[in-house]
Amino acid sequence: MCKHLLLGVLCLLGFNSMAQQTDSLKRIDLEEVTITTTRSKTQLKDIPQKVEVIDRAVIMSIPSDNAAEILKRTANIDIIQYPGMSASIGMRGFSPSAHSRSYTLLLINGIPTASTNASSINMDNVERIEVVKGPYSALYGSDAMGGVINIITKPISTESSGQVTLSAGNFGYMKLGGSVSSLLSNKTAMSLGYTRTEQAKNYRIGSKNILGLNPLEEAMLDPKSSGEIMENSTFQWHEATLRLQHAINNRWSTSADVIYTLAHDINTPGNYWGSYGQSKKDIDRLNLQTSIKRTTDSNVLTIMPYFSQEAVQNYSNNSDTGFVSLSATVREYGVKANNAFALGNVKMLVGADLDIYSYLSTRYSDAAVETNAYQPDNSLVKGAVFAQATYALGGLLVNAGARVDQIHYAIDANDLLKSKSASNSYTSFNPSFGAQYTFPFNVKLHASVGSAFSVPDAFKVAGKYSVSEYFPKWDYWWVKNYKGNADLEPEKSVTYDFGVGYTSENKFLHADVTLFSTSHSNRIVEYTIPSTDTTSFKNAKSSTYRGVEVLASVNVGKLFTDRFKLELYANYTHLFESTFGDEKKDAAGNMVPVELDMQYTRKANGSFGIFFDTYKGLSSRLNARYIGSRLEKDNFAKLRPAINAGNYYVGGGYTAADKMLKHSAYLVFDYSVAYTVNKSKRFGITLSNLLDENYTEKDGYNMPGRSIIGTFTYSF
């Protein structure tokens, strides 16, 4: 009753405030936004490929401290999120993975982040997020098979300005942030920012399930988890940003962007039962990007040297005496250059990239005793050239591009792993093509096709090593031998999509339906070399992902001379097929080919809701996220005795012996309301998980229940 009353009062407040006479807040047509993922200035409406934009208004109105939270609430992509600031992304059937490089490329301002962890990217400094669904290797190279997430930071203000934000909520949540921009001279501008975020108390798990659960689904969640505390789930993190921009003359300009993220003593629960042991970790990440740009009437030349590094330290436990058990560092650095120019009616983009990736790690069995790592140190050096042409005539727009990558693998010798240094090389060619035609009455047909690739880690190609670990409790040495496969090919994919969109002349209605189909070949899997105890890697049979994406919105405010915005929206993705080829032993012990449904990939993802904005200070949003069912192998059989062999999922190529569980679908609501006074003072309240859903995105890691956060922002 109280919840219904609160929502009713907020809506009344919104409609009453329409009586104000001045329209003081800026409105932006999303189709006019310039997309930078294209590596040149291209408006969203002129891109045949499927691109979705999460703008600043959406970011501010949906509860989200980090990129993972905003993406999973808006973009209909697969997210595996854990307590302890950890998340990985999957898209269009490509399964998310927290244990290897992703099939979805995560960028900040078009530059690699040295991380696949979207939970460690703060949203306070973000202007918008560009989500490219489909392959983009023609412009970005490796790992853009499922798509690209490009996070665009806020621009420097042309006037001296700043803001301070303070937030507080349950679970001991506190956030303090601030930023300032200033013109140092008529040619130089600077901005500084800092944010500190803390959750000082362990969060409480939700206690309800809107869609209802059967007894098996209740057992998977564990009925005891309902309303319980997720132990060891606190965190604290800091982010500092610096941006400089200098105009050398009327043609040449330079800029530098620095983002430093520091998060120490992040508690990690292991899982709900704590069976893997409670621990903690540190994350230190530096993203440095510089740019030199030459702009004339006929072309724009951009050169971007960059350096990104993420260092993660995992501890043996969460006590003060816990020692660093694993220290791992990922570095990505290089230079990206491209030139955009026109040849008559054809817009051209040509460029070259040099990207270097390295992975370094050290493992310890005690505070000062080094032991063998889980894999040898390794690196990739990638050189590439690319070109893309765009032609427009009347309602027709066509773009075509291609990229050639030369990749060199190398692994370092490691005495503890008994591995020798080794290297290998590979060349990859990836074309793309897109077209769209706009008919009268704003009906638009669009289609694209593109190939993409993902290079294997160097140790999978050229490594030969042994990993061992001693378990004193059982006086047992665990040993696993690995051998690389010199014939291993990079994973490849080809994606086709076709869609139709419509936008009414007065922008009252917008809708788009897109069908996609992806063939994923050379998928890399582990296998045991026959008649040995050695694990190696091989290219498995093809995987297939097919589905449909539906997006629609109605803005009732357009019927009232745009005096306010009352938008009903929905975004839905459904997979018809998400399978991969593998081999399994039959009853006679022979290896036979099988088609298996993909794990962790949800058959359906959706978001829908209602957004209201008076354009005079008051706005509110009710957003719902539909999380479809998924398959996961049961790794907690001993902790859930109510689940037995008869409960395991049989279908999609699996038998009871595979111990596969089909997890329930969930529905999670969020609500936010904010009011801005005199353009300078903003008061806001957000209710995350409004109806207190008990749900998981990864088996054994129940997510937070209902939380409320109040925020005050002062701009000057």
DSSP track, 583-633: EEE-TTS-EEEEEEEPSS--SEEEEEEEEEE-SSSEEEEEEEEEE--EEEE
DSSP structure class, residue 439: P
- Give the residue from 699, 661, 664 showing the smallest Cα distance to 80: 699
Return the pLDDT at 16: 36
Confidence (pTM): 0.89
Residue 638 has pLDDT above 80, yes or no: yes
Least-confidence region, from 238-242, 339-343, 454-458, 624-628: 454-458
* pLDDT over 60 at 47, yes or no: yes
Residue type, 326: L
> Residue 388 phi/psi, 5° resolution?
-145, 140
Q: What is the dihedral of CA 594, 595, 599, 602, to 10 degrees?
A: -160
Q: For residue 489, how many C-alpha atoms fall within 13 Å in the half-sphere facing its CB? A: 13
Q: Using an 8 Å Cβ cutoff, are 260 and 247 in contact?
A: no
Average pLDDT over residues 213-237: 94
How is the beta sheet containing 476-483 ordered, strand by strand?
464-471, 476-483, 534-539, 524-528
Q: What percent of the chain has pLDDT over 70?
A: 94
Predicted pLDDT at 8: 42
pLDDT digits (tens, 9 = 90+) for 51-92: 999 998 899 888 888 999 999 999 988 888 888 888 888 899
Please provide the distance, in angstroms rounded to a whole number, between the alpha carbons at the two ends of the chain.
Answer: 40
- Using one digit for the tens of pLDDT, what is the confidence trace for 561-596? 889 999 999 999 999 999 988 777 777 777 788 889
C-alpha triplet 335, 157, 176: angle, nearest 5°: 90
Phi and psi for 562 in degrees, rounded to 5? Answer: 60, 35
How confident is the model at residue 1, as a pLDDT?
Answer: 42
**Cα 479–484–487 angle (5° rounding)?**
155
CA 627 from centre of chain:
16
Percent of the chain with pLDDT over 90: 61
The pLDDT score that the predictor gives to residue 19 is: 33
Distance CA 304, CA 333 (A): 11
Among 230-234, 535-539, 568-572, whose mean pLDDT is lowest?
Answer: 535-539
Q: Which helix (H) or strand (E) holds 76?
A: none
89: β partners: 79
Does the pLDDT value for residue 466 go beyond 80? no
Q: Please say whether the dihedral angle defined by the alpha carbons of residues 622, 86, 39 and 178, taken in this order, is positive or negative.
A: positive
Residue pair 239/195 in contact by the 8 Å Cβ criterion? yes
Query: 99 pLDDT band (50/70/90 cuts)?
Result: low
Domains of the chain from N-terminus onward:
2-629+664-715 (2.40.170.20)
Q: What average pLDDT does the chain have?
A: 89
How far apart are the C-alpha atoms of 133 and 75, rounded to whole Å? 10
**Sequence-distant (≥ 6) Cβ neighbours of residue 62 within 8 angstroms:** 70, 73, 74, 621, 623, 670, 672
Average pLDDT over residues 649-653: 91
Average pLDDT score over residue span 449-458: 87
Q: How far is CA 353 from the centre of its chain?
A: 23
Strands (E), 296-395: 299-315, 324-343, 346-366, 369-371, 378-393
Tokens linked to 590: 């022979």
Alpha carbons 419 and 482: distance in angstroms, whole number? 10
Q: How many CB atoms lie within 10 A of CB 64?
A: 23
- For residue 365, pLDDT over 80 is answered with yes
pLDDT at residue 418 in the model: 76
pLDDT at 7 over 50: no
| Count of C-beta atoms within a 10 Å radius of residue 680 | 11
pLDDT band at residue 362 using 50, 70 and 90 as cut-offs: very high
10 Å CB burial of residue 365 (0-12, 13-18, 19+) is: middle
Beta partners for residue 87, in sequence order = 81
pLDDT reading at 123 higher than 50: yes
Beta-bridge partner residues of 444: 438, 501
Cα distances from 1 to residues 6, 618, 671, in angstroms, run: 9, 24, 16
Q: For residue range 503-516, list pLDDT tens digits in order.
A: 999 899 999 999 99
Which region among 233-242, 381-390, 417-426 has the lowest average model confidence (pLDDT)? 417-426
The dihedral of CA 535, 355, 242, 27: what is its sign?
negative
The radius of gyration computed from the CA coordinates of the chain, to the nearest angstrom, equals: 26
Is the pLDDT at 3 greater than 50? The verdict is no
* pLDDT number for residue 584: 76
- What φ, ψ does residue 85 adopt, rounded to 5°? 50, 60
Among the residue ranges 221-235, 351-365, 459-473, 533-547, the one predicted with the least confidence is: 459-473
Which of these, 487, 566, 549, 438, lies nearest to 92 by C-alpha position?
549
φ, ψ for residue 271, nearest 5 deg? -175, -175
Query: What's residue 28's pLDDT?
Result: 58
Q: Is the pLDDT of residue 495 over 90?
A: yes
DSSP-assigned beta bridge partners for residue 42: 35
Q: Which of 132-136, 262-266, 282-286, 672-676 has the lowest average pLDDT?
A: 132-136
CB-based contacts of 206: which residues, under 8 Å, 6+ apart?
226, 227, 689, 692, 693, 694, 695, 702, 703, 704, 705, 706
Other beta carbons within 10 angstroms of residue 260's beta carbon come to: 15
Give the integer Cα–Cα distance in Å for 454 and 612: 42
**Secondary structure element (H or E) that encloses residue 412, with its range:** none
